[in-house]
Structure formats: structure tokens, C-alpha cells
Structure 1
């Protein structure tokens, strides 16, 4: 089934990409409404929009999905029911496709909720305590966004239709649309894991690595960014961009710092995804929706490759994810090492790789735009942190001595894994330039002073050096001692966000429930509730039974009582 799914998805990916280029070149859009049924003059319609944006994004989702499923042939070869795994992944892809082509809040909710439910099934796939906890955190965090979408649907009843695309020209003074825009923005923040909803994204690493490659590149986490790109006119009309800009920059900064103190391979890459999502959100909030979409596509290419390389390492190291047990992997796995380093450099924004074309353009736009010092600092410092944790990852995994078992041997001979990585390596190198020619046929002309033009490259080199310095933990510990440890604990735990969004959210209602149960259910509730009524009915039954047991004496007493009453009435009258 893996091979069949791969061929079908690859075929559809090619078809949608060709259509997307055609629609982009001729500025063509297709809006399809299908009437499902009509009842008493009320029509229930299914609406789809096919424009260059939806078609190209769908082609990228299907291309990455096809290679991920093909890659799973090797990675999941011990799985007893591989067809079930493929079916769940296909449901996940279908939900994302439905969300991409929907200009209607109802069908968006179907895709949105489908992503949330199927992601829960994928996160708990290995069925252990850690997976269940991570799955519950993921599902409940995303449920908050589902509630915001449902409230938006209720508010949109005021307009008579849920096709938000109709109302771009009529919303400048609408209070209802302002509320809807705010709700959509908060919903997108939950799905794209912005502060304060960030803690579920590293927790979702409990899913199998092929699923992580899919989730963190082109599905689930990018759904919120894509929804806001579609709703971007409303963000600018109601001046909500400043809030989103601050949240995006803080998320980018927080994730970059956290990744520099993490030792779990998948968690580092997950935090890098969170950092890039913050970058997309922040540039989108500044009004450059096409640029955010461009970075979304290029990020999907190199991030899927990065996860595939990580999966190849984990697979060969007997499911070990700790980077401290790695080292000198380039000697044993040259192909994986090449792909890993290309994707890491692309993530950093190294010139002429896929990530460079979008990331460098974003930073130049930030230099050119009217931004304050804080935002400017957060953008460039976060870029330096990206280079820092990427170099740190290279330092631990590729250089030095092998830190795994001395008798252990591994290699690059898994055919399906190698094929999946090579398929993404090509697009991770050439995809950025090709997309930039397509999306920006007339290139941005950004004229900056030389010190701002070279600032990006300087920050990347400086960040790489910083990554090398903090990799030598003993040096840092001797330099900063206990203060450094406090720093590591705070920033390495994502500013305590996983604790704040789990223990501190659940502690109060759970303790309230405990005391309520103790006081009412096991206290006064027992006395006056079920147990009290039960005792009262038992007493009444015993009393009535005693009456029946002595019924002859009762009968005589009753007879005498009635005779006395009759005698009294006789004497009176």
C-alpha cells in the first residue's frame, strides 16, 4: 500500500504543480460551489477555491507526503500493521487538502478538526504513557482553536453566508467582522503554536519520525499561517498586525533560545520549526502575505528533509535520540550527513540554498520597513540563534568521536530512506530560486547600505561561533557556574511554558474537583443525597413492614378507634 500511495500522491502533486504555475502565470482562479442538498429554500453548498496559492501548496503537501510514505517502508518496517499507519497518514493529508481549498468557514472547520483528531491518533501511535500525555496536550491545545473557529461560524451568521472571501470589500466598518478576525487570529495562533500555546509542538514529537517530517513541514503547524494568509486583508483593515508581530517575534526568540539548550534531536528540530513559524507570522503581520507564503513553501522543503535525516540517524542508532550519544556520523552515513548539512545550512539562510531566498528577503524587508529597535533586534538575534543551534547540532552529531556503543555498526544502506532523502535534497537546493522566479516575476529591488546588506551573513557567522562556544558545556559552566545553570533551566524549558500550560492550568480545577468530591459526594452529599435517602427509605419500609406484621392488633385498634368516633357523634347529635 505504501508504494501505491506514493505513486498516486506523486502523480497528483505533479498535476497540481503544473496547474498552479498555469494559474499563476495567467492570474486565473476557479471558484466551485456544489449544492449538496436544498431544503425549504435553504441550500447547503460545498465551496472550493482553486487559485495558484492553493494549487501550489497542495502540490507541495502531496510531494512531501508521497516521499514520507515511501520513506516509511524502511522506517516502519517492524510495524505489524503498516496499512493502518498509511491510512491514518492519508486521512491527515486529506484533512489538510480540504483546509487548503476551502474559502468557507464550515469546510475549513472540517479540515481543521480533521487535522486535530488525526494528529491525536498519530501522536499516541506508539501507545505508551509519554505518547498519551503528549497526545492529550496536543489535542486540548488545538481544541481551543476549534472553539474559536466555531464561535466565528456563529458570528458569521450575521452575513448570511460563511464564504469569507465575499466580504473583503464590505467589512471596513463591521464590528462583527472585527470580532471574527480576532477569533481567527487566535485560532491560527493555537494551530501554529505561537506563545502562549507553544508547549504542544515539542510534545508532538512522540509521533513516529515520518509523521513529524510531515507535520512540521507542510501540514498541521502551517495550517494557522495559511489561514491567516487567506484572512490577511482583514488583519490590516482592523489593525491587528502589531499584536501578531510581537507574538511572532517573541515565539521566534523563545524557540531559538530553547533549542540551544536541548539535547533531544527531534526536539531541537521541533523548536526550529517553532522559530520559523514565528518568522512567518511576524512577516505576515507586517503586510507581506506573499513573502510569508514563499517562506512557508521553502521551509516545508528543507524541514521535511531535516526530519528525514534525523529519522535515518535515529533508525540506525536503535531509536536513540540523544545527540550526546552521537558523533562522527559522517564517517558511517555520508549520504545522510550531506542531506542533513544541506538542510541545516538552508535553515540558517546560507546563500543560494532554498531557505536563503525567502529568509534573506524577509530580513532585508525588515531592514527597509518601519520597525522599532525591539523588533529589529528580535529578528536578527533569532536568526543568529538559528545558526547557533544548527552548528551545535552539527558539532555534536558529525564531528568528534563516536559516543555510541564501541562495537555498534551502522550505514546508509536503507533504500527507501535514501530515496526519500534524495527526492527532497534536490528541491531543498533548487526549490527556493525556482519559487522566487515564479512568485516574484518582477524581483524586489531592495537598496540598503552595505553594513545592513552584509548584516545577515555576519549574524549567521557570529551565531555559528556562538553555537560552537555553548557546545563546550564545561567551559560555560566554569565561566558562569550557578547563574548559568539557572539561565539554562529557564530558557531550556521554553520559559516554563510546558509547566504553565499543563500543571498550572490543571492544578486548580483538579484540586477544586477533589475538595468538591470530598465535601459533597463523600460528605454532606452522602448524608442528604443517595445514602441519606436510602437509609430513610429503609426505615420507612421497616416501619410499614412492622405494621403489616402486627396487622390483627392494628385492625382491632382501628375498629375500637372508629367505634369511639361513632359513639362521640351519636352523643353529640
Structure 2
């Protein structure tokens, strides 16, 4: 039995146990708070705290389920890799870090999971050791360090309260100045981890990692950590200026990534940009005050996005590591099972009725129509939803229709049985998961009262997105724009990668080099260590001179004292 199969069985069993526990906790409304005192010294004690409620147990169940399927899938995808054991260990460390983050009601233990995610993600992004992977890994690590620093500052601010267990203070002290500062820092940390504008550049760059890692990272672990943190902290910034600012940023992130995905030809980057779009959707509905709904979409998105990445990995494997969608026409004849799974997950991403994504996305859009939002936010919401359908349909048309343009004469078939079993395991959840979660999380139907035209608006947007996606596939829209500069601007995520890598990182690193050169190696040395060394050397030389001439000096002093004594007489 292979190592992948062993971990698959263990993680799947753990997932099932946690899922039934979460249902039990949800029905009886149980919350368990465990505090374990590791060490006590004088009056200070170091404690490890765990928070077990329906939300943390359900999220852990989903993370373990997806990671078990991904590890099972990796057995064949990473076949022949010399470092397969190292890869599996890194994935397990990644999952463990996420577990720490989910069950922590304490900012210190959250930082442990948070930094663990950042470090292990860097190791996984640079797994294929080439220059592109190293650059992507450095961009990922440096972007996430901003959030880590914000979280460290929040920990420092929480010293005002005497404990880092934020669950005790959020409700009672949300109007305190300290808690408001902490809320700003936590939101900054969540924005970097969930790649909101202006920190969006690292998320498509992280596609340099192996595809199983992308399936795990972009569905339920790294990128959703920021959203999950804000769901826990949502009481702090409800109905404040911060929530309005974050709403605008998240809606713009949705819009930007939706536009960019329509002009992208790299299969994995299109799916990465769709992840960015969905993260913007989760953040924005959270800012409107619907934290349960954001959590619901987080879980349903995890199911179909993991499946979508696994299907993309199978297609890339068959096309001998080619990721260009222009080479992928008419694949339904060669890869019927893989492309069927891929298109079902794509339709779930669109929000097609009665698939997993429909239940959360449709409810989110109807809640937006019932909320007090201005026309710009309303327009951007529905435009971004239309763009989501548009790039998804474009991807479906490129894989289903068109000509098979691949250059090499190689056999393409559904012969990767282990990978297919993994995908079919997730397929059932991508179809049924949304309705099951809807019945669990919202046992009482949500009352939504809208006029008929607004009720139909979501379906109208989807139908328009399908039509425009087909037109974009035919390149009619691309020809209509006919402005290369505009297309470059849209397709390159509003120049964010260039600004962030060449601009910010280069400037920051250059500034750091100058500071080190001028202060650490310059003034600090001149006035610090070197100055002290020279001063001691000079004094020791004077001392040595004094000691070498000790007899003469004593004789002179003796004569001087005699003369003085004679004068006094």
C-alpha cells in the first residue's frame, strides 16, 4: 500500500468523524473551549487554547476531505517524482497549519498557523526548482509577510487587554480604540492572505506550484484563511468606515479578476483568477454583514474549485505539460470523463441552477439586491457575475468546441485511473454539496422578497454571460475593442504584477540594501563597534605608555613631592 493511499484513508476517516461532530454541535448549539496550560512561571502562564464549534469542525472536515482526495490524486500525478515523500510531507504540514488556524481563538496560535501556511506555501511554490518558480515563491512570501507583520502588531496591541484570546473581547469592547486598531490590522492581514487589491499579484504567480497543491491552496486552505479570519472577527468592523472601504476593494477585485480572466490563455491562471473573483465575492458579502452566507460560499466554492483544478491537471498531463487553452479544442472526444467533470465544475462556478455554486451565489446576489448598497457596488456585483459566466463559457467552448491544435502526435485518453477516481469522488460533492450545506446551515428558509424583474436579473446576467463568452471565443469582442494598450492593461491585472514586483519589491529591497549599507555597515559601525574598539585601543596604548615609564614617573613624583614639602616648610 502506497503512502498516498494510507494518508487518503486516514484523512477521509477524520473528515467523516468531524463532519458528523459538526452536525451534532450545530443541532444542539454546543461550543467547546479547551484551555491547556503548557507551562506556568511565577504569575505568567503559557496556554494553548482550542475553540470547537460547528463552524470550525465543518471547515476542518472540508479541508481534510479535499486534502485526502488531493493526496490520493497526487499518487498518479506526481508519479516518477524522486521527492514524492517530501511533497506529501509538505502537503500534510500545510493542512496541519490550516487546522491550527481554524481552531484557534487566540492570536498567538493563529499566528502559528498563519506563518506555517506562508512558509510551507513558499516551499511548495518553489517545488519545481527553476527561476520562474523562485520568483513566484519570493513574490508569494514577501506579499504574505505584510499580513504577518500586521498580525504581529495586532498581537502587540492586544497586550492592552491582558490576554490574546480575542473571543472574550470582541463583543464587549468593539467600540474601544484599541479594538478598532486591531480590526484595521486584522483586515490588512486578511487582505494580503486573500489577495485583495493591491496584493493580488501573488495569487496567479503561485500557479508555479504543482497542480495538486493549487487544488488544495485555491480551494480550502491558504487563500481562504483571510476570509475565515474575518468571519471570526466580523463583529469588529460591521457598519464602520472600514467595512465600506473593504466592500469597495473586494468588489473591485472581483471586477478586475473577471476582466483579466477573459483575456488570459493559460489554463491554470484562468482558474486562479476565478478564485480571486470568488474571494472578492466572499469578502464583499461579509462586509454587508452576512457572515454565515460568506462561510457557506467558502465551503461550496472549495468543492467545485478543487475539482476544477484536478481536471485541469489531468488535461495538462495529457497534453504533455502544455497549459495553453488555444491548443485544447475538441477534447470531449479524447477525454470524455475528464472534460465532463471539468464542465460540471465550471457550471457550478457560474452558478447554474441546482449545482453547488448556485445555492450560495444566487442567495448572495439576492441579498445584495435587498441590502442598502449604492448603484456602483450593485452594478459591479452583477457585472462581475456576468464576467464570471463569460470566462467560464469561454473556457468550456475552448475545450469542447474548436479545433484540436496540439502540435505533437501523442495519445490522449482517460487512462489515468487514480486521478479519475479522485475527480469522481469530488464530482458528487460539486453537484450535491450546495443543497446539503444549504439545508444544514440555513434550516429555516431565508425570506427574500423582490420584484419579478430583480428576481430574474441573476438568470438574465447568466444568459448574457453565456452569449458574450461564446462571442469572445469567436474573438469578435477582441476585434471590436481593437486597442492593444487597453487589452494589455485588462489582461495583466491592471499592471499589478509589474508594479508589485518591479516597483514595490524592487524599491523596498533596494531601500533595505541602502539602510543596511549606510546604517548597519556605516554609521552603526563608525559610532558603535568600530568606534568603541578604537577608543579602547587608544586608551590601552596610553595605559601601556604609562606602565612602560612607571619608574621614571614615580621618581619624578617623588622629587615633586619633596620640592612641595620644602616649599611648605
- Pairwise same-fold verdict (TM > 0.5): yes
Instruction: Give me the whole-angstrom Cα distance separating, in 1, the residues matched to 2:210 and 2:276.
Output: 19
Aligned to 1:506: 505
Q: Which residue of 1 aligns with 2:460?
A: 458
One of 410, 413, 424 as aligned partner of 1:411: 413
Contact 1:477 1:485 in 2 (8 A): no
Do structure 1's residue 67 and structure 2's residue 69 form an aligned pair? yes
Match of residue 115 from structure 2 = 113
8 Å CA contact retained: 2:171, 2:235: no
Q: Paired residue for 2:236?
A: 234
Deviation at 1:450, TM superposition (A): 1.0
Offset, 1:169: 3.1
Q: 1:321 aligns with which of 320, 323, 326?
A: 323
Question: For residue 490 of structure 1, what is the aligned residue in structure 2?
Answer: 489
Report the alpha carbon displacement of residue 512 of structure 1 after superposing the two structures with TM: 5.7
2:90 aligned partner: 88
Partner of 1:570: none
Equivalent in the alignment of 1:550: none
Secondary structure of the structure 2 residue equivalent to 1:119: helix
Alignment TM-score, normalising by the size of structure 1:
0.89
- How many residues of Structure 1 are paired with residues of Structure 2 in the alignment? 542
Question: Separation in 2 of the partners of 1:320 and 1:291?
Answer: 37
Distance across 1 between alignment mates of 2:353 and 2:505 = 46
Pair 1:312–1:142, CA change in 2 (3 A):
same
Deviations 1:53-90 (A, max 9, x none): 00000000000000000000110002112111100000
Whether the 8 Å contact between 2:9 and 2:68 is mirrored in structure 1 is yes
2:248 corresponds in structure 1 to: 246
Structure 2: how far apart are the matches of 1:304 and 1:519?
49
Runs of 5+ unmatched residues, structure 2: 530-569
Task: Name 2:551's counterpart in structure 1.
Answer: none
Of 400-409 and 371-380, deviating more is 400-409
Deviates more, 1:391-400 or 1:515-524: 515-524
Q: Deviations over 1:138-165 (max 9, x none)?
A: 0010111000110000100110110000
Q: 2:58 and 2:523 mapped to 1: Cα distance?
A: 64
Corresponding residue for 2:221? 219
2:198 matches 1:196: yes
Q: How many angstroms apart in 1 are the aligned matches of 2:249 and 2:478?
A: 32
Contact 1:178–1:238 (Cα < 8 Å) also in 2: no
Say whether residues 1:423 and 2:425 are aligned partners.
Answer: yes
Residues 377 and 405 of structure 1, relative CA distance in 2, 3 Å threshold: same
Give the C-alpha shift of residue 134 in structure 1: 0.3
Question: CA–CA distance in 2 between the matches of 1:507 and 1:212?
Answer: 27
User: 1:513: how far off?
Assistant: 7.2
Q: Which runs of 5+ in 1 are unaligned?
A: 531-573
Deviates more, 1:231-240 or 1:334-343: 231-240
Helix, strand or coil at the partner of 1:501:
helix
Distance across 1 between alignment mates of 2:374 and 2:197 = 21
Which residue pairs with 2:373 in the alignment? 371
In structure 2, distance between residues paired with 1:122 and 1:152: 28
When normalised by structure 2's length, the TM-score is: 0.90
- Cα 1:510–1:276, aligned 2, differ >3 Å: closer, same or farther? closer
Shift of 1:243: 1.1
In structure 1, distance between residues paired with 2:76 and 2:505:
40
CA-based RMSD of the aligned residues comes to 3.0
The correspondence for 2:21, drawn from 16, 19, 22, is: 19
Matched-pair contact (CA < 8 Å) for 2:472–2:478: no
Paired residue secondary structure (2:38): strand
Q: Deviations along 1:356-379, whole A, 9 cap, x unmatched?
A: 000000000011111100000011
Give the C-alpha shift of residue 172 in structure 1: 3.7
C-alpha deviation, 1:314, in angstroms: 0.5
Match of 1:548 in 2: none
Please list every run of at least 4 consecutive aligned residues from structure 1 whose deviation after the TM superposition is greater than 4 angstroms.
509-525
Q: Confirm or deny: 8 A CA contact 1:172 1:237 kept in the other structure.
A: no
- Whole-Å separation in 2 of the counterparts to 1:7 and 1:478: 52
The partner residue of 2:349 within 340, 347, 350 is 347
Q: Aligned to 1:74, what secondary structure does the other structure show?
A: helix
- Is the CA contact (8 Å cut-off) linking 1:255 and 1:274 kept in structure 2? yes
Deviations 1:381-401 (A, max 9, x none): 000000000011111122122
* Conserved? CA contact 2:174–2:235, under 8 Å: no
